[in-house]
Amino acid sequence: MDFQSILFNAINEILSPTTAAYALAAMGLAVHFGYTGLLNFGQAAYMLVGSYGFAIATINGWPFFGAVAVSLTLSLILTVVLGIPTLRLRADYLAIVTIGAAEILRYVITTTGMTNVTGGAEGISGFKGTFEAMNPIPEGTYNLGTIIINEYDLWLRITGWSLVTLVALLLFLLMRSPWGRVLKGIREDEDAVRSLGKNVFVLKMQALAIGGVLGSLAGVLFVLPRAVQPGNYATTLTFFIWTILLLGGAATILGPILGAMTFWVLLSLTQGILFSLVDSGLIEFMTVTQVGQIRFMLVGLLLMLLVIYRPQGILGNKKEMSFGV
Amino acid sequence: MPKDAQPVIVTDELVAGYLPGVNILNGANIYANKGELIGIIGPNGAGKSTLLKAIFGQVQIRSGSVELHGKNITGLKANKLVSAGVAFVPQNNNVFPGLTVEENLQMGVFQKPKEFSSQLDVVIQIFSELKNRLGQKAGSLSGGERQMVAMSRALMMDPSVILLDEPSAGLSPMLQDSAFVRVSDINKTGVTTIMVEQNARRCLQICDRAYVLDQGKVAYSDTGRNLLVDPKVIELYLGSLGA
Amino acid sequence: MSKESKATQKSLIGDLKPSPGVKKVDPILVADGVSKRYGGLQAIDVAHVEIPRNAIVALIGPNGAGKTTLFNILTGFETADSGDWSFDGKPLRGKAPHLLPKMGMVRTFQLTKVLGLLTVMENMKLASLQQIGERLLASLFPFFWRGQDKGLEVEATDILRRFKLLEKQADFAAGLSGGQRKLLEMARALMTHPKLIMLDEPMAGVNPALTESLLDHIIDLKKEGMTVLFVEHDVAMVRKISDWVIVMAEGKIVAEGLPDEVLKESAVIDAYLGSHQDSDLGVATGRITLPSTAKSTRSSK
């Protein structure tokens, strides 16, 4: 067993751009659920809209920031479509509608009729050009200790994590403010907040929009190191993000970040160890391909254990969870 | 009321609370002799409801003990307490609104279903108004009627001790009076009764002895009558309205 | 009727006779033909009712009379089948509930709605209608709202002190007892600077001695120009502070008038007060023992 390679692979997950993307998506979900109590089970839809919006705009000649603007616009449209019918109703309705929306979008994107726009089941590639062009880092390879990467990857990591940091700061300001206070009230009892003169519907829409925009930005970040593939936006994605959110602490800002890092390190470690054990013959009841599937089982198990034994996650406040109010 | 050598129920230096690190009860000591009607009054946040909930195992007891007929029942689960003879009537959500009155009473005697008919007779003796309402859904009853059903249900197991959490809460003056009369009627059948009340005056008028709880401890204890006229108690807890 | 009472009645209804729905000299809230059915039950059937400005009005009645439902309808939390009502002359029917506090009308709930996961102080600050930091853009710049927040804290501290909740200001509201939550909800409502404050059983669960001290504060609200409409079962409280009493039963207004007059009416006694009001229940139930044989064990810790 190659312990160093297993360990290094795990450590590399900490600052990988994919981890940053998941952290962003989870921060969006934190705004939705952690702070406002909105049950969004379609964060994958926001990511999908962000990824495809950016990719399609870019391959059609749009400049980088223009393409990002397209992603954000699509995100806001999605918020309006999801929010207007459901936010006046009980929380459960938003949950149901978002699951449906995510799947509908995924199927629409994959249909053969849309293939010339969305690439159908094959997806889209070749949209990294504008981002690459902005890279100030000189060409070459860079040794980060546990991994050797090229200038594009380094540029991606720097921008990705800078974005995460910036968003964390903004959310911190937002949630400490009176606006954040009203949201916390809404999470607990909408009628109480209404009786104090606040327009609950508008506030929930704002929260949905902000969390959605973060999800779509995550979508852009997510595809920059890879191609856009519709298969990536299935419900599995949404539940990975939920697990990350609950693992880190739903109503915190650092929780989603810590959760994303912990999640991917854990997955990488278990996968690495299991793979080695199977490959070297020490475990016989599993094949190498099955190790990949184990991933999903483990995530499911982790999610269940969290909800049962530690719903506040790593950084969450036990007091906030101990009332059963 | 004849006094037995040993009290039916005793709490010893009970300490309990909801939030980690915050104690609501700070060493509560109360006892009730067989057949007594005990009242517990006091300011907001004193721990009156918490005391009942601690006895009934619904709040974690951090130190101290509760004894029933000399046996330690500290922290026992509710179902064990019910079979041991302790009944609890909470303030809210104390009936099953979707079930009829009769079904609610059946739920009360869940552990010993064969006793239903005989116990039903006993209960109807005290709450005769329920006789015509047995088939009615409990959720459609008025507040006072629901209160009756909740108390009846607690009596179905023929308990030795019944704990009542603010039986008069939310009722109109007339219904409050009948609630207190009913508690007295229940007690007259021989059931040791402990009631927490915010309507201190009425509570003290009917109870044998009472405790004034303040900040999780007993501040005063005496017969109901004596507390009613005690100037300190009037000033701190009773107020002079309605005197 | 004393001279004082006659004067009070004249100021409220002029020369008219007290009767259900009697017109007021200066009404702040007027409701007409409000009705609501739940399945087969007529929950509300109020032909006409007016709440006089700058008075303390008690709304009493047996359970199920419709008092809370009427509150809910007037404040927009429930819809009515028919009827019109207005506040300060402005029609309210169909208005979303969150618009009322800005107009000057605020309410509390029978089953308290304190925000348990916020602290007592946060609950208070949340109630203010003027915090500019509650707007999304402004919230990003603490510079805009810090000063206001501090001002709100000062105001809240003063109110909390009056309600004896000041030491609890940093506690989560969920840790408060039932009576303390009632007090917080009332204190919180005051932060909106209302013209009309509607309290649904404000003293339920509040210990009698504290209730007594708070009654003076309610009278102060009237002195400051507010109108107070409250639902209560505490007859002593109603007698002590209300200027006017409205009695509801089975969805209708059945009586209106000065407290001492209304509480003497036989219909009210039969349906609501009961005839034991002034008697001692210990005597009525046959429990009372003569004072000389009562034992005394005093323990003060």
CATH of the domain at C234: 3.40.50.300
Under an 8 A CB cutoff, do A184 and C101 touch?
no
Mean pLDDT across the stretch A195-213?
95
Distance from CA of A165 to the nearest CA of B (A): 33
Contacts of C109 in chain A (CB under 8 A): 191-192, 195
**Long-range contacts formed by A168-172: CB under 8 A, 24+ apart:** A168/A27, A168/A253, A168/A254, A168/A257, A170/C140, A171/A27, A171/A30, A171/A31, A171/A253, A172/A253
Would you say residue A321 lies in a domain? no
Closest CA to B25 of B74, B60, B57, B76: B60
Closest CA to A45 of A81, A17, A75: A75
Task: Report the DSSP pairing between strands B86-89 and B161-165.
Answer: parallel
Q: What are phi and psi of A135, to 5 degrees?
A: -75, 115
Would you say residue C184 lies in a domain? no
pLDDT of residue C128: 92
Under an 8 A CB cutoff, do B235 and C240 touch?
no
pLDDT of residue A321: 53
Spatial separation of the C-alpha atoms in residues B94 and C89, rounded to whole Å = 43
- State the pLDDT confidence band at B227, using cuts at 50, 70 and 90: very high
pLDDT of residue B37: 96
Would you say residue C280 lies in a domain? no
Chains interfacing with C (3 or more CB pairs < 8 Å): A, B
Spatial separation of the C-alpha atoms in residues A205 and A31, rounded to whole Å = 12
Tokens 């009586």 found at: C255
Same domain, C52 and C22: yes
B14 at C interface, C-beta within 8 A: no
In sign, the C-alpha dihedral spanning A269, A272, A275, A278 is negative
Q: Tokens for B54? A: 């601690």
**Long-range contacts formed by C259-267: CB under 8 A, 24+ apart:** C259/C58, C260/C1, C260/C5, C261/C1, C261/C5, C261/C18, C262/C18, C263/C235, C263/C238, C263/C239
Q: Which residues contact B47 (CB under 8 A, 6 or more apart)?
A: B24, B25, B26, B28, B213, B215, B216
First to last CA, chain B: 28
Q: Is the pLDDT reported for residue A172 higher than 70?
A: yes
Spatial separation of the C-alpha atoms in residues B32 and C34, rounded to whole Å = 52
Helices A151-176 and A178-188, interaxial angle, to 10°? 80
Distance from CA of C100 to the nearest CA of A (A): 7
pLDDT of residue A218: 97
Spatial separation of the C-alpha atoms in residues C258 and C1, rounded to whole Å = 10
Same domain, C81 and C230: yes
Closest CA to B151 of B195, B210, B100, B197: B195
Give the chain A residue whose CA is nearest to the CA of B20: A319
Share of chain B above pLDDT 70, in %: 97
B18 at C interface, C-beta within 8 A: yes
Size (chain B), residues: 243
B21 at A interface, C-beta within 8 A: no
Q: Which residue type sits at A43?
A: Q
A318 at C interface, C-beta within 8 A: no
Q: Tokens for C286? A: 């046959």
Mean pLDDT estimate for chain A: 89
Q: Tokens for A253? A: 């800002």
The residue ranges of chain C whose pLDDT is under 70 are 289-301
CATH number at residue A39: 1.10.3470
Q: Tokens for B16? A: 């309990």
**Long-range contacts formed by B221-227: CB under 8 A, 24+ apart:** B221/B30, B221/C297, B221/C298, B221/C299, B222/C296, B222/C297, B222/C298, B223/C294, B223/C295, B223/C296, B224/B39, B224/C282, B225/C282, B225/C288, B225/C289, B225/C291, B225/C294, B226/C294, B226/C296
Would you say residue C295 lies in a domain? no
Strand ranges of the sheet holding C41-52, from the earlier edge strand across to the other edge: C41-52, C27-38, C82-87, C90-91
Residue A47 burial class via C-beta count within 10 angstroms: exposed 0-12, middle 13-18, buried 19 and up: buried
Would you say residue C53 lies in a domain? yes
* In contact, B16 and B55? CB cutoff 8 Å: no
Contacts of B180 in chain C (CB under 8 A): 281, 285
* In contact, A163 and A256? CB cutoff 8 Å: no
Under an 8 A CB cutoff, do C208 and B143 touch?
no
pLDDT of residue A206: 96
Domain count, chain A: 1
pLDDT digits (tens, 9 = 90+) for B86-114: 999 998 888 999 999 999 999 988 888 88
- State the pLDDT confidence band at B5, using cuts at 50, 70 and 90: low
* In contact, A251 and A38? CB cutoff 8 Å: no
pLDDT of residue C299: 41
Mutation test of the interface with chain A: which of C115, C121, C140, C196, choosing the one with the most A Cβ atoms within 10 A?
C115
Q: Is the pLDDT reported for residue A80 higher than 90?
A: yes
Under an 8 A CB cutoff, do B19 and A318 touch?
no
pLDDT of residue C194: 95
CA atoms within 13 A on the CB side of C47: 8
Type and span of the H or E element at B108: helix B101-108
CA atoms within 13 A on the CB side of A160: 27
Same domain, C24 and C154: no
Contacts of A319 in chain B (CB under 8 A): 19-20
Domain assignment of residue C232, given as a range: 3-112+194-274
Distance from CA of A142 to the nearest CA of B (A): 50
pLDDT of residue B164: 96
Helices A64-86 and A200-223, interaxial angle, to 10°? 140
| Cα angle B16, B22, B24; round to 5 | 45
DSSP assignment of A33-47 equals IIIT------HHHHH
Residue C292 burial class via C-beta count within 10 angstroms: exposed 0-12, middle 13-18, buried 19 and up: exposed
Distance from CA of B138 to the nearest CA of C (A): 14
Task: Please state, in angstroms and as integers, the Cα–Cα distance from residue B50 to each residue in A325, B88, B218, C262, following that order.
Answer: 17, 13, 13, 39
Under an 8 A CB cutoff, do C98 and A199 touch?
yes
DSSP assignment of A60-125 equals TT--HHHHHHHHHHHHHHHHHHHHHHHTTS-HHHHHHHHHHHHHHHHHHHHSGGGHHHH-GGG-B-
Q: What are phi and psi of A106, to 5 degrees?
A: -65, -40
Would you say residue C294 lies in a domain? no
Same domain, C18 and C95: yes
Spatial separation of the C-alpha atoms in residues C75 and C57, rounded to whole Å = 17
Would you say residue C284 lies in a domain? no
Same domain, C138 and C253: no
pLDDT digits (tens, 9 = 90+) for B37-78: 999 998 877 889 999 999 998 898 999 999 999 999 998 998
Same domain, C130 and C219: no
pLDDT digits (tens, 9 = 90+) for A277-297: 887 877 777 777 787 788 778
3-state secondary structure chain C: CCHHHHHHHHHHHCCCCCCCCCCCCCEEEEEEEEEEEECCEEEEEEEEEEEECCCEEEEECCCCCCHHHHHHHHCCCCCCCEEEEEECCEECCCCCHHHHHHHCEEECCCCCCCCCCCEHHHHHHHCCCCCHHHCHHHHCCHHHHHHHHHHHHHHHHHHHHHCCCHHHCCCEHHHCCHHHHHHHHHHHHHCCCCCEEEEECCCCCCCHHHHHHHHHHHHHHHHCCCEEEEECCCHHHHHHHCCEEEEEECCEEEEEECHHHHCCCHHHHHHHHCCCCCCCHHHHCCCCCCHHHCCCCCCCC
Domain count, chain C: 2
Spatial separation of the C-alpha atoms in residues C132 and B112, rounded to whole Å = 62
pLDDT of residue B126: 86
pLDDT of residue C174: 87
Spatial separation of the C-alpha atoms in residues A227 and A36, rounded to whole Å = 33
Beta bridge partners of B221: B211
Would you say residue A322 lies in a domain? no
* Contact residues, B window 127-146, toward C, CB-based 8 Å cutoff: 142-144
pLDDT of residue C209: 81
Would you say residue A226 lies in a domain? yes
Q: Between A and B, how many CB-CB pairs are < 8 A?
A: 7
Mean pLDDT across the stretch A311-318?
83
Would you say residue C281 lies in a domain? no
Domain assignment of residue A161, given as a range: 3-315
Same domain, C210 and C75: yes
The model's pTM = 0.82
Helix (H, G, I), strand (E, B) or coil at B220: strand
pLDDT of residue B242: 55
Q: How many CB atoms lie within 10 A of CB A303?
A: 17
Q: Which residue type sits at A237?
A: L
pLDDT of residue C294: 44
* In contact, B213 and B51? CB cutoff 8 Å: yes
pLDDT of residue A1: 65
Q: Which residues contact A293 (CB under 8 A, 6 or more apart)?
A: none
Mean pLDDT across the stretch A54-60?
92
Same domain, C119 and C108: no
Torsion, Cα of A221, A226, A228, A231 (10° steps): -110
Q: Is the pLDDT reported for residue B83 higher than 70?
A: yes
Same domain, C8 and C97: yes
Would you say residue C293 lies in a domain? no
Q: How many CB atoms lie within 10 A of CB A29?
A: 28
Q: How many helices (H) and strands (E) does chain B have?
A: 9, 11
A322 at B interface, C-beta within 8 A: yes
pLDDT of residue A35: 92
